[in-house]
Amino acid sequence: MNGYLRLTGVSLRYGPQQEPALDEVDLEVPAGSSVAILGPSGSGKSTLLRVAAGLEEPTAGSVTLDDVDLAGTAAENRGMAMVFQRPLLFPHLDVTDNVAFADRVRGVPRRAARRRAREFLELVQLAGFERRTPRSLSGGQEQRVALARALAAEPRVLLLDEPFSALDAGLREEMYELLDELRLRLSPTILLVTHDHREADALGDTVAVLDGGRLLQSGPMRQLYTRPASLAVSRLLGGRNEIAGEVRGGWHHSPLGVFRVATSVADGPGVLLIRQEAVELTGADADAVGTVVRVRRRGPRALVTVEVGGPDRPGTARVTAELGPGLQLEVGRDVGLRLPAEALAVVAGNARQDGVEADPVESVDDGQR
């Protein structure tokens, strides 16, 4: 129930102006792995999924499954199943027959198809719901049925197009746990798209960051968090700290101080990046000392903005740190900042505004999980 999916040089252009929806995207989904495509609305992530499924024909490039080129292969013959944001269940069929649909289309006798459907309903923890109608189910239950129906088709690749984005935070967590259990039992190959970096982190072994139809960076989420290839990647992953400065001889100079550049960055303007979760607030052994200028609650946690600057450091810089549950800081208080070297990254270029913290567009329920 798993295959090796590879997309090579995939491009797709629309309209008389040949506007690119996808631009030479290379992506590999090893058998049994889960790869998350992360990007904002309009980035091309769902289009890429549709190309893999055979619902869109690429202008250039190839899609292969276990090294077999799928060019010209109809969607229903590709060995893939897709789960959409909306469950798209058949309202005139009960839960069992919705799940049995793929087997019935393949000519499996009704009794055998229903027996298999019940097995997959048990897998998604819906035993006892066999005779229910779709309209009697909650949103989370409907999506479980849609997932069971996709799995019953025994696809070599399972495609998930933001299937949990319409659910509330609690139900999403339940679906994440369910998908983890299904991966342990079935080891399916999964390609999913999401606009939420936390969901990508929860569900993907690796994450591919897509924007404007171009693949910006891919790899394990830990690597993307600590070593983003660009400001765009950092922002799409929810990074808030962008400290503008100058790179000279392998060191980054800014009002925050002087820090060693771990990656290869040429001399010139450079932006120091560090995740808000990695910044440590301390009273001693600090890399910099500043004043709290803003506190924003995020559920049990808080985002604390500290401004650093003074007579000995021209200019100012703002750093946001995440404060753990039960901890409090007041605006106006002086605090120390410790910036672990392994959490620092530098990219060439300029931030939005020198010395001003980034304030990226937050994903759904940012900070509520």
CATH of the domain at 275: 2.40.50.140
pLDDT, residue 299, reads 83
Which pLDDT tens digit goes with each residue over 37-86?
999 999 999 999 999 999 999 999 999 999 999 999 999 999 999 999 88
Kindly state whether residue 362 falls inside one of the protein's structural domains: no
Q: What local confidence, expressed as pLDDT, does residue 328 receive?
A: 85
Nearest CA-CA partner of 45 in 185, 168, 200, 150 = 200
The answer to whether residue 269 is domain-embedded is yes
Within a domain: residue 209?
Answer: yes
**Helix or strand run (H / E) with residue 24:** strand 19-29
Question: Which residue range forms the structural domain that includes residue 249?
Answer: 232-348
State whether 173 and 38 are in the same domain.
Answer: yes
Domain shared by 237 and 183, yes or no: no
24 & 167 share domain? yes
Q: Helix crossing, 169-186 with 110-123: angle to 10°?
A: 120
pLDDT value for 118: 94
- Let me know whether 205 and 100 are in one domain: yes
Residues of the chain with pLDDT under 70: 310-314, 352-369
Q: What is the pLDDT of residue 327?
A: 82
Residue 226, classed as helix, strand or coil, is helix
Q: Is residue 102, in this structure, part of any structural domain at all?
A: yes
Domain-located, residue 80: yes
Structural domain includes residue 272: yes
Residues 256 and 149 in one domain: no
Q: Which two tokens stand for residue 18?
A: 């040949």
Report the domain count for the chain.
Answer: 2
Please give the helix or strand (H or E) that residue 13 lies within, else none. Answer: strand 5-14
Q: In this structure, are 207 and 239 located in the same domain?
A: no
Please provide the size of the chain in residues.
369
Domain end: 184, 219, 254, which one?
219
Predicted confidence at residue 319, as pLDDT, reads: 96
Judgement on whether residues 199 and 249 belong to the same structural domain of the protein:
no
Q: What is the pLDDT of residues 184-240, one digit of tens each?
A: 999 999 999 999 999 999 999 999 999 999 999 999 999 999 999 999 999 999 999
In a shared domain, residues 181 and 99: yes
Q: What is the CATH number of the domain that holds 160?
A: 3.40.50.300
On whether both 214 and 298 belong to a single domain, the answer is: no
Burial status of residue 277 (CB atoms within 10 A of its CB: 0-12, 13-18, 19 or more): middle
**CA 77 from centre of chain:** 28
* Token duo for residue 220: 């394990």
Q: Judge if 93 and 133 occupy the same domain.
A: yes
Distance from C-alpha of 360 to C-alpha of 121, rounded to nearest angstrom? 40
Residue 93 and residue 241 in one domain: no
Considering the domain architecture, whether residues 150 and 296 belong to the same structural domain is answered as no
